[in-house]
Amino acid sequence: MVAPTLRERSVLAKQLRLDVAQLTDVGRRREHNEDNMAFVIPKDPLVMANKGALFIVADGMGGHAAGEVASEIAVDTISNMYYQDDSEEGGVSLLRAIRRANASIHQRAAENMLRTGMGTTCVAAVLRGNIAYIANVGDSRAYLLRGNQVVQITRDHSWVAEQVRAGLLTEDQARTHTQRNVITRCLGTQADVEIDVFPEQIEEKDALVLCTDGLSGLVSDDEIRRIVDQSGPQESVYHLVERANENGGPDNITAIVVSVQEVGSEPPNTRHPVYVGGREIGEDTAVLGVASGSLVPAAPAMFSDSPAPGSSLRYPSGPLVSPESITAPQPI
Ligand code: CA
């Protein structure tokens, strides 16, 4: 008997099915929108099974021209590089794609004095099979909604968030603090960047929300949950943006809502999940630390960026993204 090919196996395997919508809005006070967003859901079942779907939100800074450029480079570079990377580990590919975005923005800033200080936050999620890899730099957030719970998966890299973690400020104080916009990490301002990656098991009917602080600073976690619970992604993104505007809309507002219709099979060649619990893992070890079951914020996993041992899959270099995939329209 002939063993099924990789393509046949990927078609036979249970596919992840997602419903998604995204929306960005300039808000009520700003003249320009420096946020950017994008998603990629590959149509090719082989690419979908092996690389999964990708969602990115970025909040640019450094003044109008610089901020828009930085957030755009981030979403473009990550969506291209992720699908070109040959690692089987979604978390490793995502990490490398974000590092590449950091280098591209840093280089662009160095080429032009007017763009000194150009940077962007970034929150990105890969959903593949039954696992999500969520990565962030800065204070754009990812929330996971399950049942009647909402959990902020990412940890903000901001001054106020550090004060909250140290027990020096409450969440409510942080929300209105004059220093709430000060972030402690971003893409583009340094040659290298530290990126957190959070692996999460996903379940049917879960929803994932990626957003900038123009939403999370104006609409409470519980209200985000309530809005997303009430309707599908299309209506949800509209109501989330509307609510942030009703609350003043002082900043640009961006949200992606992903609803998990059906989870897929475990990704091919996935090594068994390992809990990392914030433990330092050696640089030569790629670890899939998957938190499953209860919804509690996990510590970021440590991913090595060297190729996983025993890799058998290789992707050709060159864009796998277009024209085989649905790429969301960019905001106007
Ligand atoms: Ca912002």
- Measure the CA–CA gap between 237 and 318, rounded to whole angstroms: 33
Average pLDDT over residues 38-62: 95
95 Cα to the center of ligand 1, angstroms = 23
Alpha helical stretches, state H, the chain? 6-12, 45-51, 64-84, 90-111, 159-165, 171-176, 213-216, 221-230, 233-246
**253-309: pLDDT as tens digits:** 999 999 999 999 876 655 444 333 333 333 334 444 455 556 666 677 766 655 444
313 Cα to the center of ligand 1, angstroms = 39
pTM: 0.84
Radius of gyration of the chain, Cα coordinates, nearest whole angstrom:
19
Residue 294 has what pLDDT? 60
Return the minimum-mean-pLDDT range out of 92-96, 120-124, 305-309: 305-309
**206-251: pLDDT as tens digits:** 999 999 999 999 999 999 999 999 999 999 999 999 999 999 999 9
- The answer to whether residue 5 scores a pLDDT higher than 80 is no
263 Cα to the center of ligand 1, angstroms = 32
88 Cα to the center of ligand 1, angstroms = 33
Q: What percent of the chain has pLDDT over 70?
A: 80
More confident residue, 319 or 74: 74
285 Cα to the center of ligand 1, angstroms = 35
- Measure the CA–CA gap between 167 and 31, rounded to whole angstroms: 36
Residue 239 has what pLDDT? 98
More confident residue, 235 or 324: 235
Q: What is the mean pLDDT of the chain?
A: 84
